[in-house]
Amino acid sequence: MSNMLNKYKWILFDADETLFHFDAFAGLKLMFSRFDIDFSAEDFSVYQQVNKPLWVEYQNGLISAAHLQHTRFTHWAAKLSVTPQHLNSQFLSAMADICLPLPGARELVDSLSGKVNLGIITNGFTELQNIRLSRTGFQDAFNPVVISEQLGKAKPDVAIFQHAFSLMGEPQKHQVLMVGDNLHSDILGGINAGIDTCWLNHHDQPVSDNIVPSYQVRNLTELHQLLIPNTSVAG
């Protein structure tokens, strides 16, 4: 297989569950423990019943980031007599405290740096992205870092990709690859934007009929092998 790095000048990454672990349950447990509350698996399941549909609405451009962040914490905010904004902020701060790069992320970023331009396009929230990039020492590796909350458009909307392209100096689209774990935001978004895509399919899910990635890998080590063949990657 020819070296893919000769093909691409840019690799754009999603953040959550692509470069970084995003363990919302652990983050919520930590945050609520700071309020002396033992947040249970049942509490989490109730939270997700509210949170998950909000994310779909956000991705579909129906609600704002602020609406998502406040609505998911309305119930607990009332219970604790604090604002939903305060809880959301405490949650993102707890997520930053437990943040870890995914296995293989650091090796991949280190070996790509200087060979290809790296960027991030994330639907995650500003308050978490910047602190996490600096704590993991990744902030110098990625430019641009495009955050949907700041733009008011979320993946898969082509507008967030066009914004990234303008910051990248309008690269040739065939020289750009989007890597992400979410078929409906990262991969569909990349396809909408006219660029190649690589689906990080952690759980061996079937490809959807109408969203077909250019490449598929199970983890970042496989992506490393795909991008830079014959590298010995410590597993």
Dihedral, 53, 147, 170, 176 alpha carbons, nearest 10: -60
Strands 10-13 and 176-180: parallel
Per-residue pLDDT of 191-228, as tens digits, reads 999 999 999 999 999 988 789 999 999 999 999 999 99
Give 2's pLDDT tier (boundaries 50, 70, 90): low
**Per-residue pLDDT at 232 exceeds 80:** no
Q: Counting Cβ atoms within 10 Å, is residue 64 exposed (0-12), middle (13-18) or buried (19+)? A: middle
Per-residue pLDDT of 91-116, as tens digits, reads 999 999 999 999 999 999 999 999 99
Does the annotation count 181 as an active-site position?
Answer: no
- In the block, residue with structure tokens 């990080």: 200
**Per-residue pLDDT at 230 exceeds 80:** no
Q: Counting Cβ atoms within 10 Å, is residue 89 exposed (0-12), middle (13-18) or buried (19+)? A: middle
* Residue range(s) of every CATH 3.40.50.1000 domain in the chain: 4-21+102-227
pLDDT > 90: percent of the chain? 92
Averaged pLDDT for residues 181-186: 96
Of the residues 14, 16, 157, 186, only one is catalytic, namely 14
Q: Counting Cβ atoms within 10 Å, is residue 59 exposed (0-12), middle (13-18) or buried (19+)? A: buried
**Per-residue pLDDT at 50 exceeds 70:** yes
- Look at the pTM and tell me if it is higher than 0.85: yes
* Residue range(s) of every CATH 1.10.150 domain in the chain: 24-98
Across the beta sheet with 215-217, the strand order is 145-147, 117-122, 10-13, 176-180, 196-200, 215-217
pLDDT at 1: 45
CATH topology of domain 4-21+102-227: Rossmann fold (3.40.50)
Question: What are the b/e assignments for 26-43, b being 16+ CB within 10 Å?
Answer: bbbbbbbeeeeeebeeeb
Averaged pLDDT for residues 60-82: 97
Per-residue pLDDT of 146-179, as tens digits, reads 999 999 999 999 999 999 999 999 999 999 999 9
DSSP 50-96: HHHHHHHHHHTTSS-HHHHHHHTTHHHHHHHTS-HHHHHHHHHHHHH
- Cβ neighbours for 115, distance < 8 A, ≥ 6 positions apart: 5
- Cβ neighbours for 233, distance < 8 A, ≥ 6 positions apart: 104, 107, 221, 224, 225
Smallest CA-to-CA distance from 121 within 223, 193, 204 is with 193
**Per-residue pLDDT at 142 exceeds 50:** yes
pLDDT at 101: 97
Tell me the C-alpha distance between 66 and 231, whole Å: 43
| CATH assignment, 24-98 | 1.10.150
The tokens describing 99, both together, are 């943040």
Give 234's pLDDT tier (boundaries 50, 70, 90): low
